[in-house]
């Protein structure tokens, strides 16, 4: 089946994926009615690998991550699909069992470290919590582990700062603390939702380096949610490009970026100012992404697409194999592949 993206994307790598997302759908209740924010999203990721979920604001990438982590806002709910961790569908687990997976199974790093940390609890107490709860360590032993963890993520003088509060740390250090919290129990899957977006460039590079080290060290499967194509190019093995709630293209990053086989991916790549000569116009994508309640019929991208034809308004394109280990959801991917 075409929608079973994971089996094909994975071709070439060995071993079974640790996380498989299969046909995930998320609905949101709005005053104007229920809208589908994530539709038929499928992908998989293996231990020690990085998969990037790439897309612009509102494309559903964060909502996909929240659904996987079980952290959806109360107005949103999973409307279908499976999320299998080591073969077990975690969406159907009872809450108590699912909570046990938070930390050793699956863990998340948020974008905004100041709101993600508890402002009235010392960082030591927050970092000790996973060890207290999951490993039933004593207060003293857990605190010792917290200090080790702070040291591991590069916080200077951890022993003297373990009693400090989040606001006493800089933005980069707070992001390190958040990462420490997320990797404390060596999760099998780590979701990182725009982990460096709020940070300065030189600090951003430090944080990405840390994530990369930890991924290799702990053999974690990393799912990196980002809007930044350059971050994807540098950090990820595979990429899933999302638009209006759907995955429109997946494959190895090098293949997808060198030869995009969906007009949206190509448009994004053309919008990057990097090497375009100064003054030369960027080939931007006309228009803006659709609102969730007004997604066009057929292909959601067709209203902004130069290659769209009649069939695009009538039939929603499914993900089909468009090359070795890659999938594209475009009726006209072959025309893109030609030039």
- For other proteins, the closer CB: 1 or 282: 282
- For other proteins, the closer CB: 96 or 281: 281
**How many whole angstroms separate alpha carbon 312 and alpha carbon 331?**
7
- For other proteins, the closer CB: 96 or 201: 201
Phi, psi of 211 (to 5 degrees): -60, -40
* Smallest distance, other proteins to C-beta of residue 302, A: 15
* Smallest distance, other proteins to C-beta of residue 310, A: 24
- For other proteins, the closer CB: 52 or 101: 52
Residue 166, classed as helix, strand or coil, is: helix
Give start and end residues of each alpha helix (H) in 19-119.
61-69, 95-101, 113-116
Residue ranges in contact with other proteins by CB under 8 A: 56-57, 156, 170, 172-173, 200-206, 208-209, 227-231, 233-235, 254, 257-258, 267-274, 276, 278-279, 281-286, 288-289
* Smallest distance, other proteins to C-beta of residue 204, A: 7
Shortest CA distance to 299 belongs to which of 288, 308, 286? 308
* Smallest distance, other proteins to C-beta of residue 257, A: 4
Distance of CA 182 to the CA centre of its chain: 15
* Smallest distance, other proteins to C-beta of residue 196, A: 9
DSSP 8-state symbol, 300: T
Shortest CA distance to 45 belongs to which of 92, 102, 6? 6
- For other proteins, the closer CB: 29 or 167: 167
Shortest CA distance to 174 belongs to which of 122, 115, 114? 114
């Amino acid at each position: 089946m075409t929608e079973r993206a994971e089996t094909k994307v994975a071709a070439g790598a060995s071993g079974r994926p640790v996380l498989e997302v299969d046909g995930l759908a998320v609905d949101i209740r709005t005053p104007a009615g229920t809208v589908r924010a994530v539709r038929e999203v499928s992908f998989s990721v293996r231990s020690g690998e990085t998969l990037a979920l790439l897309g612009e604001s509102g494309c559903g990438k964060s909502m996909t991550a929240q659904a996987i982590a079980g952290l959806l806002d109360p107005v949103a709910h999973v409307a279908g699909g499976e999320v299998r961790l080591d073969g077990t569908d975690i969406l159907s687990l009872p809450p108590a069992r699912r909570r046990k997976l938070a930390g050793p199974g699956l863990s998340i790093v948020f974008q905004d470290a100041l709101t993600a940390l508890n402002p009235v609890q010392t960082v030591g107490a927050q970092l000790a919590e996973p060890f207290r709860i999951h490993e039933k360590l004593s207060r003293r032993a857990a605190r010792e582990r917290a200090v080790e963890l702070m040291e591991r993520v590069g916080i200077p003088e951890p022993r003297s700062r373990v009693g400090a509060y989040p606001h006493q740390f800089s933005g980069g250090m707070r992001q390190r603390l958040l990462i420490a919290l997320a990797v404390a129990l060596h999760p099998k899957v780590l979701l990182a939702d725009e982990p460096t977006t709020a940070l300065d460039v030189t600090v951003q590079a430090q944080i990405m380096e840390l994530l990369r080290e930890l991924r290799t060290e702990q053999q974690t499967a990393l799912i990196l949610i980002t809007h930044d194509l350059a971050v994807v190019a540098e950090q990820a093995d595979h990429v899933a490009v999302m638009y209006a709630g759907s995955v429109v293209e997946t494959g190895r990053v090098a293949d997808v970026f060198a030869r995009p086989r969906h007009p949206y991916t190509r448009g994004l790549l053309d919008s990057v100012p990097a090497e375009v000569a100064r003054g030369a116009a960027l080939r931007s994508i006309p228009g803006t992404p659709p609102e969730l309640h007004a997604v066009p019929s057929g292909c959601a991208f067709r209203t902004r697409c130069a290659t769209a034809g009649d069939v695009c308004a009538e039939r929603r394109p499914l993900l089909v194999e468009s090359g070795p280990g890659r999938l594209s959801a475009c009726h006209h991917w072959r025309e893109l592949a030609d030039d």
